[in-house]
Amino acid sequence: MPSVITSITVQKKNRNRFNIFINEAYAFSLNRELTATLKPREQLTKKKIEDLKQADEQDTAYSRALFYLGFRPRSRMEIERYLKGKNFSPEAVMSTLSRLAANEYINDFDFARLWIENRCRFKPKGSYALTGELKEKGIDEQIIKKALKNFNELESAWAAVSPRLSRLEKLERNEFNKKIYSFLSYRGFDYSTCKQICDLAWEQHIRTTEEENK
């Protein structure tokens, strides 16, 4: 029996989706754009039906991905995980990723660069910690290295610790260094950077104390 479109009706809860009835029975739903390509009494082949369903799923996956990107930039792997979690087919996921990349909505290098800039501005961390965070987002190691090329470890460490120095001004040097080292180490800074910042912070503390006592 041929598959003939006998009715096309708009959904009550979503005016942008339409129910397609074939041979008087509900068959599937499509978005507005795909529905516009059909007409009542049109005969559909099995392949045409599958192509329509696949195109609709790909459009839906793409729309979901754009919604997800609306909250903040995402890495390619984050988008992939999100779509798989919504049970989209592998074909729809790959189609969406390719489409997002082509439209410059995802770019792992730009994502890594923005992630590092954001950390430097609001919560400075060392390159070790930043590398770990970006790897968790699925960023390739070579891309991470490229994004960190101009990263200033010492400058970031100083930005992290300087707002805390006033709390440490009454400590002896050993305890002073211990507090700073512990804090910076937790933020992912290496030993050499921690030591330099401890020395710089103590020198500033001495200068400030001398000026206050003049």
Q: Domain segments of the chain: what residues?
A: 1-44, 46-106, 108-151, 152-214
pLDDT at 210: 64
Which residues lie closer than 8 Å to 82 by C-beta, 6 or more apart? 64, 65, 68, 74
SS3 18: strand
pLDDT at 207 (0 to 100): 80
Confidence (pTM): 0.84
Q: Which CATH architecture has domain 46-106?
A: Orthogonal Bundle (1.10)
Q: Which pLDDT does position 29 carry in this prediction? A: 96
pLDDT at 211: 65
pLDDT along the chain (214 residues), means of 10: 91 94 96 95 95 97 97 96 97 97 97 97 96 97 96 96 89 93 95 95 81 64
**Tens-place pLDDT, residues 69-113:** 999 999 999 999 999 999 999 999 999 999 999 999 999 999 999
Q: What is the per-residue pLDDT for 166?
A: 87
